[in-house]
Amino acid sequence: MESREERIKRRAYEIWEREGRPTGREQEHWDQAVQEIEAEGSEAERGPVVSDPTVGDGAKSWKD
């Protein structure tokens, strides 16, 4: 089963592609993906909203 983080990562990538692959909007796409996944999940699945773990730490982005 796909983890919550993997679902968010996949959705953020889909949003990025749908918007024409713009640069510099990783956090915006991540946040939107979190909101969409949260809206889909049941109350039991919901956890805290998380920040993109790759933004601001020099790690590779989800789109790399």
Global pTM value: 0.64
pLDDT of residue 11: 97
Which band of pLDDT confidence, cut at 50, 70 and 90, is reported for residue 55?
low
Distance CA 47, CA 57 (A): 23
Which band of pLDDT confidence, cut at 50, 70 and 90, is reported for residue 43?
very low
From the CB of residue 31, how many other CB atoms can be counted at a distance below 10 Å? 18
Q: List pLDDT tens digits, range 11-30.
A: 999 999 999 999 999 999 99
Q: Where are the domains of the chain?
A: 1-64
pLDDT of residue 61: 56
